[in-house]
Structure 1
Amino acid sequence: MILALYCPDIAQNAGTCLRTGACLGAEVHIIEPAGFPVGAAGFRRAGMDYIDAIAWQRHASFAAFDAMRRAQGRRLVLFTTTGAVPLTAFRFRPGDALLFGRESAGVPPQVHDAVDARVKIPMRPGLRSLNVAVAAGIALAEALRQTDGFGGA
């Protein structure tokens, strides 16, 4: 299972996702350009000492990331507030790539078109969205629970 961040805007959120990936045993992939220098102090501070315990990769573009995940046979699951399937009804598979959009704008239409599934995390009506790091933690935990994947990537 991998956690992928599309052009993240906030270093602390990316660092928190790295920490989550380290603790839950999932790789984290950062699709650039990011809104901060990847590896910067804020990024490392949020990841704390966990950054050395995580397998993570940078990709120069969505096209590069998409080519990698296709070559590995990974299904791409986008988490979006406009998702067609609620998290509670979606069935994950081992090896899925869970994709989260940038904090300021989500993902562009061409990324929406490239995914295999669009999933939403149910929320109370009238509220816009969860923090991306919180949403990633919820989604990754559920995906690993369903696939008996805790403790390994």
Structure 2
Amino acid sequence: MTDLFNEVYACKNEQAKNNVIATITAILDERLNDDEKTALRSTIRKAIVGNHFDAYSAKQRISQMYYTTTDGCIIHAPFVSERECAELYEEYKPQIKGYNLYDFSVVLNNIIADYHNLLFSWWRNEDWCIMLLKFCEITVNWLNDDDTPFKGEKAWKVLGNI
């Protein structure tokens, strides 16, 4: 198999490479169960982006987040739009070196899910835009945790493994 993949890797024809990937995908879809597919996806994703979220894994993780309001309503993530997350990430990026947009998005949504009710109990009448800045500051602080054994990978190590 290694020889075959070396041959594909050396191929200069992009369409041929795409055809090989499509063929392998079809075979794997046919023969792997859902758990095996998830494990393979995780292994391939890690080989491509390392211990960080990508668009797919971030969306999957964020879709699992929610908080329950004081009157019992369940509010599901995402709590911040992709566009707004991207803008906030650009603003905070210099403070969170080693993390990408998707790491930031996952942690921000997780912070909101975990601390929404607490922060709003402290600042009952505060505008959302001000509260979002507070959530961002907590996100930056969480990512920059001095005593984490996972410097630069904390988001994935704590919230990932999807």
Q: Structure with the greater relative contact order (CA < 8 A, sep ≥ 6): 1 or 2?
A: 1
* Higher gyration radius (CA): 2
Do they fold alike, i.e. is TM over 0.5? Answer: no
Greater fraction of residues in helix: 2
Compute the TM-score of the two structures, normalised by the length of structure 2. 0.28
Q: TM-score, normalised by structure 1?
A: 0.29
